[in-house]
Homo-oligomer: A and B are copies of this chain.
Amino acid sequence: MSSALPVGVFDSGIGGLTVLAALQQRLPHERFLYLGDTARLPYGTKTAATVGRYAQQAVQALVNRGVKAVVVACNTAAAAALPALAAGNPGVPLLGVIEPGAAAAVAATRSGRIAVLATEGTVRGGAYQQAIHRLLPTAKVSALPATLFVALAEEGWTDNEVAQAAARRYLQPLFARPEAIPDVLVLGCTHFPPLAGAIRAAVGDGVCIVDSAITTAQALAGLLGARGLDAGRTGGDCRFLVTDGAERFARVGPVFLGRVIPPDAIERIDL
């Protein structure tokens, strides 16, 4: 395995660009190859079996191109399929976003009451709940699906009155009983960080909002260092593979990545 290879980053589509942004900020000299399965997004409402099948095709495509590690940036795919993906691809280190997010939540909580906001699939699979309980068996975890946030973020409606009404609708039931209010809220979907402002307005200042992208970047830095796979002082480039049109990816992507995506860095592939 060559340290000069890029790190593969896989997501169901566009949301994983929030993770890529955190990875590039923490590891500015690494090269990245991002694969967004934009033809088949969203994964969050699909069954675990379908998500697992799609995820294996995507990881295989990244491995075929040559990568030194793969970050499964899609919470739904990581929750549904990370062990199977690791077993099916023994030659390349794989890292998900669930374990780093759970670790950050456990580090931040004082009361032990942690809320997880995620897609239907991630909530149903229970991966966050299990990862948190492995680290803090006494934790009281509430997980709730916030499917509409995905569409809101893709529409670029991250802090208007529609986003604010949706955030209130999803979150206020969680904060209805004063004795059960969580002190940590995990954003368990890569689409949700752009909505942090609307979410903060709905939950108030007393809650720590955890975005697993930052702790995933720390975990990747640790993994590359431990295996002697750091890029050193070279590289820094990033290319993008998408399974559907590049135009929409280039148009909607900056909401999540925080910068422009050059059209000539995007390549369409079939999975």
A interface residue numbers (CB < 8 A to B): 38-40, 45-47, 50, 120, 147-148, 150-152, 154-155, 157, 160-162, 165-166, 169, 244-245, 248
CB contact between A147 and one of B38, B45, B47, B151 (< 8 Å): that residue: B151
Q: 20 other contacts beyond A148-B148, A148-B152, A162-B166, with CB at 8 A cut-off?
A: A38-B46, A39-B40, A39-B50, A45-B154, A45-B248, A46-B245, A47-B245, A47-B248, A50-B245, A120-B248, A147-B154, A148-B151, A148-B155, A148-B162, A150-B151, A151-B151, A151-B152, A160-B169, A162-B162, A162-B169
Q: Is the CB of B244 within 8 A of A47?
A: yes
Point out the residues of chain B lying under 8 angstroms from A162, CB to CB.
148, 162, 165-166, 169
Residue among A40, A45, A154, A160 with max Cβ neighbours from chain B (10 Å): A45
Residue of B nearest to A151 (CB): B151
* Bound CA–CA A43/B188 (angstroms): 25
* Bound CA–CA A45/B45 (angstroms): 16
